[in-house]
Amino acid sequence: MKAFAFLLLLAVASASWLPEFQSDAVVSTAKKQQDVLRLLFKVTEPIRKRYTDLKDASVSHKPTGVAAEKLISEIEDGRTLEQKHYFSLFNDRHREEALMLFEVLMSSGDWNTAVSNAAYFRERLNEGVFVYAIYTAVIHSPLGKDLVLPPLYEVTPHLFANTEVINQAYSAKMTQTPGKFQMSFTGTKKNPEQRVAYFGEDIGLNVHHVSWHMDYPFWWKDSYGYHLDRKGELFFWAHHQLTVRFDAERLSNNLDLVDELYWDRPIVEGFAPHTTYKYGGEFPARPDNVNFEDVDGVARIRDMVIFETRIRDAIAHGYVTAADGSKIDIRNEHGIDILGDVIESSVYSPNPGYYGALHNLAHIILGRQGDPHGKFNMPPGVMEHFETATRDPSFFRLHKYMDNIFKEHKDSLPPYTKEQVEFPDVAVTAVGVDGKLETFFEDFEFNLLMGVDDTEEVEDVPISAVVSRLNHDPFTMTADISNNNAADVFATIRVFLCPRYDANGILFTVNEGRWNCVEIDKFWRTLVPGSNHITRKSSDASTTVPDVPSFQSLVAQADAAVASGEDLDLSAYSRGCGIPDRLLLPKGNAQGMEFAVIVAVTDGSQDAAVEGLEKDERGGSHAQCGIHGETFPDKQPLGYPLDRRILDERALLNFPNLFKTIVKITHRE
């Protein structure tokens, strides 16, 4: 099938083009940051004349090397995607071009060469191809260490802002009238899904989703420099957490848990994106109750059913069949990692030809249901972009469907034994919260300057969008832990937040509820003999990241540091992957919505896979996003100890190193 051509293409791994990196000691972090921002400034327009070094490089630089020569040949032969055209990572050819540029940048031996290569190809390649390659190269290349990528909602605002706001921005620019425009969520109160649109359409959540897929791209080959540790398991966990987090929002708004998709049933919820490509027309809409149709040139629905059946058979048998016919055992704690690679499917999948690409193809199929046969030549749907996918309610239905497949595997494993959970002579005696667990909506302003066309002859005017977003008051989690050992012990502390009742007010059993738990934090502490009072600020949670400064703020800081010769430290914003820190708590309700908080304290000397985690959490959002190029810091399965069946609540609570308490999350209007 055509849809699998990319898997065969990407499977060819060669490390011959990877360079020995030269020292960049002479290039300051501030200068690197300035270069990246200038390369990404108004990517749909030529490089600004005032950026003399970049402008000169775009004209006179001659890229060299195997990767560069291959891409130049493609350009000269007219085979590359035209400029001012939409880009989709799920389009095989679009992705191939982006990866060709990615390889050019990854093979650049020093910073100045990388910047010159980027400037040269910026003027010759599609803008979407360029942006994707720059972002992934900065994330994965050693040359990009400590650099901060500007928020995508300001670099490519068309993928984040509603059509109405973009039109207002164009009018403001043409009339040279500054404007600040209120952006509303799609739909009306007639649509129950409108109650949770604030979550799926949250621009910070959108950035987290696309950033995760840049950190752990399905096309990644280890020949690019390193292995993405537990990538398949992280695919499961990051999307499981998105799904259960969405469910918590639904319960906060008196909606049932999201139902999974079925290939043989209608897609109940339609979706009108109210967004427009900068080049290519409007994102297609989908009416209610559409039956799945085959998508020409991509996949047939019956193929998806076959792939699903083969995956479920593998779970039932306890092994995956590799491409060479060998059997890979998955009925163990590492099986979820293999299963994640299979379901996505990534280059790491042991047999994509047999198990298909269930996740990736499903995204394309859902995105094309408005025009499955290409009759109207419509552009890709929101599901065909990681930036926009969570806007569509079908995203969460799709991932509930896949989540249930993962759960089938997890439920095939035996419950944890006493020895696997206990922490001898360590007990949690109390868990509390300093401060209120209270949420609210606030206005957030972001720049639309790069959403409109212009020339250097036309002055920019301030143009921005204002959107309502969920936030919460700061709070501190506390735990009193006794260590009855004679010496210090190293502990892993996991914190879960679990809805207590379904939409009908029925209490979840422990075994039902544990799958709905949101992991809000994971960290490490040394426990001295006797009593230990542990505090942890909500802003320090290892599942979240703060807002990245605006593009204008980053430019101002980088320019000032370069001009003064001073250091530039933006390390607090070096990870784009992570739930926005203001979304740590679900919305709750005005009366106070009950959640169970479960704190599990386990033996860190057995759990920790990386040294020094107590003092340096290495980027801060490791719980869902890992550590770049390194071993995942926790040896235990993601979700442990709640990821496997719990047959008896009394057994769970009999462990002194586990503690459960009840809290209320209140929403203030």
Do residues 243 and 137 share a domain? no
**Torsion angles phi and psi, residue 267, rounded to 5:** -80, 100
For residue 195, tell me if it sits in a domain.
no
Tokens standing for residue 229:
């540790």
CB contact set of 325 (below 8 Å; sequence gap of 6+): none
- End-to-end C-alpha distance for the chain, whole angstroms: 52
Angstrom CA distances, 38 to 43, 119, 160, 506, stand at 9, 10, 21, 55
- pLDDT of 16 > 90? The answer is no
Helix (H, G, I), strand (E, B) or coil at 148: coil
DSSP H or E stretch at residue 35: helix 29-40
Mean of pLDDT values over 361-384 = 96
Residue 5 pLDDT level (bands cut at 50, 70, 90): very low
Do residues 171 and 81 share a domain? no
For residue 446, tell me if it sits in a domain.
yes
Mean of pLDDT values over 497-510 = 96
Mean of pLDDT values over 311-332 = 98
Check which CATH number belongs to the domain holding 47 and give it.
1.20.1370.10
Do residues 47 and 175 share a domain? no
Mean of pLDDT values over 44-59 = 93
Do residues 431 and 391 share a domain? no
Using an 8 Å Cβ cutoff, are 225 and 106 in contact? yes
Res 24: pLDDT: 56
- pLDDT of 600 > 90? The answer is yes
Number of domains, the chain: 4
Residue 90 pLDDT level (bands cut at 50, 70, 90): very high
Find the range with the poorest average confidence among 247-261, 338-352, 445-459, 611-625. 611-625
Check which CATH number belongs to the domain holding 404 and give it.
1.10.1280.10
Do residues 351 and 215 share a domain? yes
For residue 660, tell me if it sits in a domain.
yes
Q: Which residue has the higher pLDDT, 651 or 570?
A: 570
Residue 276 pLDDT level (bands cut at 50, 70, 90): very high
Closest of 492, 494, 523, 525 to residue 606, by C-alpha: 492
Average pLDDT, the chain: 93
Do residues 446 and 329 share a domain? no
Using an 8 Å Cβ cutoff, are 366 and 394 in contact? yes
Find the range with the poorest average confidence among 7-21, 250-264, 299-313, 324-338. 7-21
On the CB side of 248, how many CA atoms lie within 13 Å of its CA?
Answer: 30
Residue 4 pLDDT level (bands cut at 50, 70, 90): very low
Q: What is the DSSP string of 550-614?
A: PHHHHHHHHHHHHHHT-----GGG----SEEGGGSS---BTT-EEEEEEEEEEEHHHHB-STTTT
% of the chain surpassing 70 pLDDT: 96
Question: How many Å apart are CA 102 and CA 125, to the nearest integer?
Answer: 12
Do residues 138 and 115 share a domain? yes
Residue 447 pLDDT level (bands cut at 50, 70, 90): very high
Helix (H, G, I), strand (E, B) or coil at 62: coil
Do residues 618 and 485 share a domain? yes
Check which CATH number belongs to the domain holding 528 and give it.
2.60.40.1520
For residue 582, tell me if it sits in a domain.
yes
On the CB side of 76, how many CA atoms lie within 13 Å of its CA?
Answer: 6
Do residues 160 and 243 share a domain? no
**For residue 349, what are the domain limits?**
204-412
Using an 8 Å Cβ cutoff, are 627 and 613 in contact? no
DSSP H or E stretch at residue 338: helix 335-344
Res 8: pLDDT: 37
CB contact set of 320 (below 8 Å; sequence gap of 6+): 314, 327, 328, 330, 338, 339, 342, 350, 351, 355
Res 376: pLDDT: 93
How many residues in the chain?
Answer: 669
For residue 562, tell me if it sits in a domain.
no
- pLDDT of 661 > 60? The answer is yes
- pLDDT of 297 > 70? The answer is yes
For residue 568, tell me if it sits in a domain.
no
Do residues 431 and 406 share a domain? no
Mean of pLDDT values over 142-147 = 93
Residue 628 pLDDT level (bands cut at 50, 70, 90): confident
Residue 142 pLDDT level (bands cut at 50, 70, 90): very high
Bond prior to 252 in cis (omega within 30° of 0): no
Question: How many Å apart are CA 88 and CA 634, to the nearest integer?
Answer: 34
Residue 618 pLDDT level (bands cut at 50, 70, 90): low
Res 1: pLDDT: 46
For residue 537, tell me if it sits in a domain.
yes
Do residues 461 and 534 share a domain? no
Mean of pLDDT values over 548-570 = 96
3-state secondary structure 151-183: CHHHHCHHHCCCHHHHHHHHHHHHCCCCEEEEE
Q: Which residue has the higher pLDDT, 180 or 9?
A: 180
Mean of pLDDT values over 138-161 = 96
Res 189: pLDDT: 82
Bond prior to 586 in cis (omega within 30° of 0): no
pLDDT digits (tens, 9 = 90+) for 534-551: 999 999 999 999 999 999
Question: How many Å apart are CA 40 and CA 64, to the nearest integer?
Answer: 23
Residue 153 pLDDT level (bands cut at 50, 70, 90): very high
Res 610: pLDDT: 86
Cβ neighbours around 309 below 10 Å, total: 10
Do residues 422 and 459 share a domain? no
For residue 267, tell me if it sits in a domain.
yes
**What pTM, to 2 d.p., does this model score?**
0.94
